[in-house]
Amino acid sequence: MKEVILLKYGEIVLKGLNRSFFNTKLESRVRRALKSVEGEFYFDYAQSTLCITPSDDADIDGAYERVKKVFGIATVCRGLACEKDMEDIKRVLAENIDELLGNAKTFKCDAKRSDKKFPLKSPEICAICGGIVLENRPDMKVDVINPERVITIEIRDRQAFIHGNGEKGAGGVPVGSSGRAMLMLSGGIDSPVAGHMIARRGAAIDAVYFETPPYTGELAAEKVRTLAEILTEYCGEIYLHSVSLTEVQETLVATCKEKLFTLLLRRFMVRCASRLAERYGAGCLITGESLGQVASQTMQALAVTDAVATVPVLRPCVGLDKEEIVVRAREIGTFDTSILPYEDCCTVFTPKHPDTRPDMAEILEEEAKLDVEGLVERALATDHFVKLG
């Protein structure tokens, strides 16, 4: 008897005419996720469910962990394949009853027939299978309203499957179905979460990290790279750019009002990130900002940084509390890396009394003292990237 992985598609099922576009995308994302897993995997799609049959030598546990991170999938479960024959279904059910039930005390059976020619109707299949469960596990009780475990019997074209409750999949829509975005990735807690949220809505991700050597070191860059690598488990490949803002920082410190350092620097970041987005075909920027979290994230401060963006700036964390962002960071596996204590270029030059209600005229006055275009161009000349994932 063979074990399979069943992936129930999420909201792409609702996509009407575009559905085959989304299906193709999702299937290719799943194939990609399984590329590094040992063994061969055969795909069969029907009724909003992708069935993955592994070869005998395949690492099915590894495959299961990988597909749980693929966006576009609502539910993931492991199922048992059997012949389309009631005797075989009964045998497989009886032989695997304990694993199928887990430690549940109540259950119900549910049958799905995509092959309408199968001689038994769904209620009959349920009645027979429910009987098998009770025969083998007299301690179990049927509860059709609120069962702890649902045992599902699916009758497909070529074979039948039996499975217990699935686990929640990664949700969202497949990466690559909503274009490309440039993530401003800092090494903090928020920006990896922001990147994950937008990738979950279907954007392929590129990332840019602004460094300020020698004020920021190799360890900080390494940390950002690790974060980007964790994100590739969800988003697939990421081009991680590094751009040096050392000249910008030093010029700001030498020339401008201290209370505006952070905001002026952030405007340079957004200018550079916008140029990179245009150069590499990204339709928007992503930042980890959350309204009111720090001085540079007040509404006025966001307006000041947005004003130099040439593509839309997405801030998916804008309405989340820090606690909520931390919960997500733990879930996606970036938190422990994010809290490693390496300096960030924002923190190195943080003003003691940052302006929380910046005045645009004053910002422009400060920038008039600078060769903004030259600084941006020289910063972008330091751009170098690695391909991850």
Name the residues that contact ligand ATP, by CB under 6 A.
Answer: 184-186, 188-191, 208-210, 269, 287-289, 293-294, 296, 344-346
Residue reference for tokens 């966001």: 302
Query: Looking at residue 366, what DSSP letter applies?
Result: H
**Residue with smaller CB distance to ligand ATP, 188 or 202:** 188
> What residues contact 45, with CB distance under 8 A and at least 6 apart?
23, 27, 51
d(CA 73, CA 87): 32
Q: Closest separation between CB of residue 287 and ligand ATP, Å?
A: 3
Q: Measured from the CB of residue 100, what is the shortest distance to ligand ATP in angstroms?
A: 43
Task: To the nearest 10°, report the CA torsion of 374, 378, 379, 384.
Answer: 150
Q: How far is the CB of 249 from Mg ion (least distance, A)?
A: 15
List the beta bridge partners of residue 151.
109
The SS3 call for residue 357 is coil
| CB 149 within 8 Å of CB 100 | yes
Please, what is the minimum distance in Å from the beta carbon of residue 183 to Mg ion?
13
Contacted by 125, from ligand ATP, Mg ion, none: CB < 5 to 8 Å by type: none
Smallest gap from residue 292 Cβ to ligand ATP (A): 11
User: Within 13 Å, how many C-alpha atoms sit on residue 149's CB side?
Assistant: 20
Q: Which residue has the tokens 């960071």?
A: 329
Residue 185, contacted partner among ligand ATP, Mg ion, none, CB below 5-8 A by kind: ligand ATP
User: Interface with Mg ion by CB under 5 A: which residues?
Assistant: 186, 188
In the complex, least distance from residue 377 CB atom to ligand ATP, rounded to whole angstroms = 18
Binding at 204: pick from ligand ATP, Mg ion, none (beta carbon under 5-8 Å per type): none
Burial of 116 (0-12, 13-18, 19+ CB in 10 A): exposed
What tokens does 364 get?
A: 């422009």
| Residue nearer to ligand ATP on the CB measure, 151 or 228 | 228
Closest-by-Cβ residue to ligand ATP is 188
Fill in the amino acid letter for 241. Answer: H
Question: In this complex, which beta carbon is closest to Mg ion, that of residue 172 or of residue 188?
Answer: 188
**Residue 296, binding choice from ligand ATP, Mg ion, none, Cβ under 5 to 8 Å by partner class:** ligand ATP
Give which of Mg ion, ligand ATP, none residue 305 binds (C-beta under 5 to 8 Å, depending on kind). Answer: none
Task: Identify which of residues 37 and 276 has a Cβ nearer to ligand ATP in the complex.
Answer: 276
